[in-house]
Amino acid sequence: MSHEQRRGWGRGRGRGGRGRGFSSHGESECPGGGRGKPPPHLKGREIGLWYARRQGQTCKDKERMERAVVRMDESREEHITRLLNAVQTTNNNAKRTPDDDSWWSMDNDRDSPSPPPRQTAVKPKASVEQLSKSICQEKQNDTISDLDQQLKQELLKKRTDFRYLEMQRFREKLPSYSMKEEIMEVINSSQVTVISGETGCGKTTQVTQFILDDWITKNKGSTCNIVCTQPRRISAISVAERVAAERAELCGRGNSTGYQIRLESQLPRKQGSILYCTTGIVLQWLQSDQNLDNISHLVIDEIHERNLQSDVLMAIVKDLLLRRDLKVILMSATLNAEKFSQYFNGCPMLHIPGFTYPVKEYLLEDIMEMLRYFPKDTDKRPKWKRRFMQGRIDRPEKEEKEALYVEHWPEFVRRLQGRYSASTIEALELVDDEKVDLELIVELIRHIVLKGEDGAILVFLPGWDNISTLHDLLMAQVMFKSDRFIIIPLHSLMPTVNQTQVFKRPPPGVRKIVIATNIAETSITIDDVVHVIDGGKIKETHYDTQNNISTMTAEWVSHANAKQRKGRAGRVQPGYCYHLYNSLRDSLLNDYQLPEIVRTPLEELCLQIKILKLGGIAAFLIKLMDPPSREAIRLAISHLMELNALDRREELTPLGVHLARLPVEPHIGKMILFGALFCCLDPVLTIAGSLSFKDPFIIPLGKEKIADARRKELSKNTKSDHLTVLNAFLGWEEAKWHGARMERDYCWENFLSSNTLKMLSNMKEQFAEHLLGAGFVSSRNPKDPKSNINSGNEKLIKAVICAGLYPKVAKIRPSFSKKRQMVKVYTKSDGKVSIHPKSVNVEEGEFHYSWLVYHLKMKTTSIYLYDCTEVSPYSLLFFGGEISINKDKDQDTIAVDEWIVFQSPARIAHLVKDLKSELDTLLEEKIRNPQPVDWNETKTRDCAVLSAIIDLITTQESDVTKNFAPRFQKNY
């Protein structure tokens, strides 16, 4: 990588770039500016420019004063000088040959020659060994024939089993069962089949059984291995257990049906079986079995959701169709089968009708007329004016829809006249479309309770803040505080123990009210729901390639979402669905949500494409059903090159190979590798697990402030969300050691999910298994003493976090406000940003250093940094980008990627730069030839270099703090 490319990450891209300043929109964040008056000859605009220059100079002077001083005591300076001299002498003697594809230096050129093609060997004639193998194969075929008979006898025997017959009677009532012959005829005569079906038709549970039973009956059972993919873990488990029950078997344990998800499995028998698994599992198999030779039928379920993994798997499978014996069945819950059929060259389609009761639908105008509802605190300006004042919308397609909405509004109002009252039409005029009206939902729930039919009420809302507020509004009314109501919030942040109540039917006279996100659309089924209130919004993440930032906003649902929500109401009896948007908005809704592939960063996917040997990244991605933009592809490749995971020819570097094999996002993978190399493995694996899955904290409604306080206590003043999770996990491990009761009490008192903590523990073992296989560690135990020599070193753990998350860096500046004591935070490309309210650092007023690293940057109401940790200058110098040494007026400086600048004597700066260079060389060797660091051999070069760096990070930061913190903190 060239010098320019190394520091290129920090330059603003598109509208987000702001050069070297931190202030958004070019405004200075330094108050006051310089004192004194401008020269008398200046007039008008010239006076303004004079003040601006003076203020800018004051800001630069202030920033120069705030710089931390990087120092080193004399004894360490002498030790490192001797170490570098010894290492350089060894290197000169070895005369190391530079490698054009160095994973770390990245100085190779895109046009450097490709490796020579492999020589194709001439196939020899069949040998004695091959003939022997052929004879063995014939004997194996005889064995398979015996197995076919055995499987057929087992199936015939089942048909006399009472449990099987009872389940059979239930199966025969499903709509899919009446189409059994038609379904099998199409599947057997076609290589690819698209099956669509309404919720409850039985397609997911029945089609796989039809195939298996058909092949067993035809004496081909031993060659039938069906794999059915599910987008979610919970779906794979629950469907597998249901199918096993229908076959009068236990799930897994060598029976016909089982499941496999990450870190958990109940596997079926090897031949003549059905396996339900997550889509990611099949993508993992492709690394070792590129043709999926062990699968006879691949069923890809829930394809209408258009998640990234399913779309990628479909593209891979399209190329696998050269394997003529592979059958592919695509299953969708909605009626967009034509698009999938066209993608697979016009393959046949089948539709299975649903089995639901009729559901009566109401739109916003109907609801307002029924309730005589009038919105409170409304904006009286006309709709077009309100929309104009809200400013620019980020996405053109959304802007176009809003323009159409405003254009057709007068005509829509005319259509309503005469059919609805004047007060309803006026109320519709005043509705704020950007928000979900929670007061309206409260009134609607009251109406259903007082005048509607019995049955559970399910409310769909976009996010946690809406769920929490609605819960508070309901509990503020005496009516809902009684024991006649069970109110259950359903969200990933909620305690799991509360969510189990969702599936239980309440006793007679008690009404269940579930307030949920879109998790209740497809992932779970609540059987007793009669009334659905559709808030009309869904939280959706989009990736803004122009500004290189993800945004999460509440968007309008699609027609597919609305249909799924409506379908929740008619499972046990006729139901009712109330949509909180009007008929004009309904006419402008998209048919489906945007596919995930076009609204998400692509780095992890790019690595998967390379490790699966699918060819060029862009060449593969354009084969997808809805390809991502060229800019998104370019950005992903650029980021992977900056991370040193891809070389200039877009091939995997040694580091890239390791990152692609780890089942996490690339930055987290890099953190794991550094944790192994620096022997602080166990704590780093805990942090990596929480970043790739989720942190273990839960937020019970009504106890948010107490939960925040507990989290703050667990941070132990580390100024780190990552170390807060680590402290919580270590406390849980200790409590668990004392017994189940202590573990339960610990989780209860600290608002922690024991299920998530157990999941993190399992993930750590999986990560350690990967590292052992790659050669980085000598044991699969994350707590192996050899891998955890430095695990008690908090400063080193922060440095390893920095190594993984860099270049996600933000600068901290003090606040000069007397009212607001919190610091101000800036990133290079965005200017001023905010720390997310969930962070332990959100109200922090005193930091030791002026830099944070963060895991995620997301734009919602403003730009928030999620999961951040304060890091020291030495962490950034050793684990950041390229180091440069400069002079700024009378100050000697050392900078990382030319924008993270520290004050440092020139001789110390050169010493640090040389030591960083030795670290880079060492890391390159360790990545190319992984092996654990032997800390008992203290005289080795590896141990000497790593020890010197750890010593500086651990002991020398006190000097930096002394020079920086007092000046920083006195402003509070």
Q: What are 841-854's pLDDT values in tens digits?
A: 998 888 888 899 99
**Residue 125 pLDDT more than 70?**
no
Which range (59-73, 75-89, 431-445, 751-765) has the least confidence?
59-73
pLDDT surpassing 80 at residue 500: no
With b for 16 or more beta-carbon neighbours within 10 A and e for fewer, the 769-787 pattern comes to ebbbebebbeeebbebebb
Most confident segment among 277-281, 491-495, 940-944: 277-281
Residue 36 pLDDT > 80? no
Q: pLDDT at position 626, please? A: 94
Average pLDDT over residues 249-260: 93
Q: How much of the chain exceeds pLDDT 70, in percent?
A: 81
Confidence of residue 350 (pLDDT cuts 50, 70, 90): very high
Residue-level pLDDT at 65 = 53
φ, ψ dihedrals at 755, nearest 5°: -65, -45
The number of CA neighbours under 13 Å toward the Cβ of 682 is: 19
Higher-confidence position of 118 and 392: 392
Q: What's the mean per-residue pLDDT of the chain?
A: 82
- 317 pLDDT band (50/70/90 cuts)? very high
The pLDDT assigned to 256 comes to: 95
905-927 mean pLDDT: 89
Give the per-residue pLDDT at 607.
94
Beta bridge partners, 157, equal none
Return phi, psi of residue 362, to 5°: -125, 140
Mean pLDDT of 279-292: 91
In this predicted structure, what is the pLDDT of residue 357? Answer: 85
- Alpha-carbon distance of 643 to 658, in angstroms, equals 13
pLDDT digits (tens, 9 = 90+) for 390-403: 444 456 777 888 88
Tell me, what's the pLDDT at 89? 61
pLDDT score for 492: 61
Annotated domain spans of the chain: 130-352, 359-594, 627-792
Sheet holding 359-362, edge to edge: 359-362, 575-579, 529-534, 456-460, 511-516, 485-490
Q: How confident is the model at residue 960 (pLDDT cuts 50, 70, 90)?
A: very low
Q: How confident is the model at residue 109 (pLDDT cuts 50, 70, 90)?
A: very low
Q: Is the pLDDT of residue 888 over 50?
A: yes
pLDDT tens per residue, range 800-815: 999 999 999 999 987 7
pLDDT at 874 exceeding the cut of 50: yes
Q: Kindly state the average pLDDT of the residues 923-948.
A: 84
Residue 789 pLDDT grade (very low, low, confident, very high; cuts 50, 70, 90): very high
pLDDT band per the 50, 70, 90 thresholds, residue 15: very low
375 pLDDT above the threshold of 80 = yes
Integer Cα distance of 719 and 848 in angstroms: 9
- Ranked by mean pLDDT, the top range of 281-290, 503-512, 949-958 is 281-290
CA proximity to 607, closest of 641, 574, 558: 641
- Model pLDDT, residue 647: 92
**HEC string of 651-710?**
CECHHHHHHHHCCCCHHHHHHHHHHHHCCCHHHHHHHHHHHHCCCCECCCCCCHHHHHHH
Query: Which of the residue ranges 57-61, 73-77, 514-518, 934-938 would you say has the lowest mean pLDDT?
Result: 57-61
Tell whether the model's pLDDT for residue 933 goes beyond 90. Answer: no
Answer whether residue 10 shows pLDDT above 60: no
For residue 160, name the pLDDT band (cuts at 50, 70, 90): confident
Which tens digit of pLDDT belongs to each residue from 176-225?
999 999 999 999 999 999 999 877 788 999 999 999 999 999 999 999 99
pLDDT value of residue 144: 59
pLDDT at position 488 is: 85
pLDDT confidence tier of residue 243, bands split at 50, 70 and 90: very high
Same fold, 130-352 and 359-594: yes
3-state class (DSSP) for residue 359: strand
Topology of domain 627-792, CATH: Four Helix Bundle (Hemerythrin (Met), subunit A) (1.20.120)
Listed in sequence order, the residues at least 6 apart from 283 whose beta carbon sits closer than 8 Å to its beta carbon are 309, 312, 313, 316, 608, 612
**Residue 318's pLDDT is what?**
93
**pLDDT value of position 14:** 37
Query: Is a pLDDT exceeding 80 seen at residue 776?
Result: yes
DSSP state of 420: B
Nearest to 915 by CA among 81, 268, 39: 81
Which carries the bigger pLDDT value, residue 503 or residue 314?
Answer: 314
Looking at residues 684-709, what average pLDDT do you find?
A: 89
The Cα–Cα gap between 900 and 827 comes to: 11
User: In the β-sheet with 192-197, what is the strand arrangement from edge to edge?
Assistant: 264-266, 257-261, 273-278, 225-230, 297-300, 327-332, 192-197, 349-352
Segment 515-526, tens digit of pLDDT: 988 876 765 667
Partners of 833 in beta bridges: 825
The model's pLDDT over 136-159, given as tens digits with 9 standing for 90+, comes to 454 445 555 788 999 999 999 988
Do residues 677 and 636 lie in contact, with contact meaning Cβ atoms separated by under 8 Å?
no
Could you tell me the fold of the domain covering 130-352?
Answer: Rossmann fold (3.40.50)
Q: What stretch of H or E contains 587?
A: helix 583-588
Give the residue-averaged pLDDT of 505-521: 85
CATH superfamily of 359-594: P-loop containing nucleotide triphosphate hydrolases (3.40.50.300)
Per-residue pLDDT tens for 704-733? 889 999 999 999 999 999 999 999 999 999
Q: pLDDT grade, residue 52 (50/70/90)? A: low
Most confidently predicted of 108-112, 143-147, 496-500, 945-949: 945-949
> pLDDT per residue over 624-633, tens digit each?
999 999 999 9
Give residue 446's identity as a one-letter amino acid code: R
What would you report as the CA-atom Rg of the chain, rounded to the nearest whole angstrom? 31
The residue ranges of DSSP E strands in 762-872, in sequence order, are 809-813, 824-827, 831-835, 851-859, 863-871
C-alpha separations of 792 from 368, 779, 788, 949 in Å: 62, 19, 8, 16
